[in-house]
Structure 1
Amino acid sequence: MTHPFDPYSVLPPVPQFTLRSTDIADGQTLDIAQCSGLFGGPGQDRSPQLAWEGYPDGTRSFAVTCYDADAPTVSGFWHWAVYDIPASVHELPADAGAVGGKNLPVGAKVLANDAGQAGYLGAAPPPGHGAHRYFFVVHALDVPTLDIAPDATPAWLGFQLLGHALARATLTPVYATPV
Structure 2
Amino acid sequence: MPKPLVLTSPRFKDGDLIPIAFTGEGEDTAPPLHWENPPAGTKSLALIVEDPDAPDPKHPQRIFCHQVLYNIPPGAQGLPEGAQVDVLPPGTRVGLNDFGHQAYGGPMPPIGRHRYFFKLYALDVVLPNLGRPTRRDLLKAMEGHIVGQADLIGLYEKVHHRGSAQGPGASA
TM-score, normalised via structure 2 length = 0.83
The one-letter code of the counterpart of 1:58 is G
CA contact under 8 A between 1:148 and 1:157: conserved in structure 2? no
Once residues 116 and 134 of structure 2 are traced to their aligned partners in structure 1, the CA distance between those partners, rounded to angstroms, is: 18
Question: Runs of 5+ in structure 2 lacking a partner?
Answer: 162-172
What residue is the counterpart of 1:76 in the other structure?
Answer: 63
- 1:23 and 2:5 matched: no
What residue is the counterpart of 2:74 in the other structure?
Answer: 87
What residue is the counterpart of 2:29 in the other structure?
Answer: 46
- 1:142 and 2:124 matched: yes
The one-letter code of the counterpart of 2:75 is S
- 1:169 and 2:159 matched: no
Structure 1 moving runs of 4+ over 4 Å: none
Aligned residues: 154
TM-score, normalised via structure 1 length = 0.80
What residue is the counterpart of 2:113 in the other structure?
Answer: 131
The one-letter code of the counterpart of 2:29 is R
Question: Runs of 5+ in structure 1 lacking a partner?
Answer: 1-14, 37-41
Once residues 149 and 171 of structure 1 are traced to their aligned partners in structure 2, the CA distance between those partners, rounded to angstroms, is: 25
Residue 59 of structure 1 deviates from its aligned partner by 0.6
Larger-gyration structure (1/2): 2
Once residues 165 and 109 of structure 1 are traced to their aligned partners in structure 2, the CA distance between those partners, rounded to angstroms, is: 17
Please give the root-mean-square deviation of Cα atoms over the aligned residues, in Å: 1.6
CA contact under 8 A between 1:95 and 1:103: conserved in structure 2? no
Matched-pair identity in %: 38
